Amino acid sequence: MLDQRDITILDLLQRDSDMPVATIAEAVHLSPSACSRRIADLRRSGYITGSTAHLDRKKLGLPLTLFVIINARHSADWLSRFRETLASIPEVLECHRLTGQADYILKLAVPSIEHYDHVYKKLIDHVEIHDVSAHISMETIKDSRALPLDFVPRGQS
């Protein structure tokens, strides 16, 4: 079980994984070495699964975000090919299997609509798709990678 210090450490790190251990230690009222041990324990126990840098998509030439809705015929073989195909397309940032009317939603980062057409053709060359619709994001209203930590089971403080 995590205590309030662990949860605060997780919150600080998910907002800025480059935050110095001394700054985190001060925030949770620990010595830097004790804080460092807690962070190592959180990694070892799987609460922290990695650290990444957030890159500026526009500066990198990927200004468009598209959401692609897919309906497909279902089979184990199809799903295996679909997974392999998506793994080979770096423009696909996320894929979620859905309940409801659509089977899957993909989030893509592309430089242009013309490039999306290239991605679309690669996708349909490798897997049979019943229906595809693409939606262009006109504005990002919220883009948070920080998870809410109000639901973490807590131990003693």
Residue with tokens 């073989």: 77
pLDDT at 72 over 80: yes
**pLDDT per position as a tens digit, 12-48:** 999 999 999 999 999 999 999 999 999 999 999 999 9
**pLDDT per position as a tens digit, 120-154:** 999 999 999 999 999 999 999 999 989 999 999 88
What is the helix (H) or strand (E) element at residue 38, kind and residue range? Answer: helix 32-44
- The span from the first CA to the last CA of the chain, in angstroms, equals 10
| Tokens matching residue 151 | 């639901």
Using 50, 70 and 90 to split pLDDT, how confident is the model at 71?
A: very high
Q: Model's pTM, two decimal places?
A: 0.87
Q: CB count, 10 Å around CB of 119?
A: 19
**pLDDT per position as a tens digit, 74-121:** 789 999 999 999 999 999 999 999 999 999 999 999 999 999 999 999
Going along the chain from its start, the domains and CATH numbers come out as 4-44 (1.10.10.10), 64-136 (3.30.70.920)
Judge whether 36 and 21 are in contact, CB under 8 Å: yes
Judge whether 96 and 104 are in contact, CB under 8 Å: yes
Question: How much is the pLDDT for 74?
Answer: 79
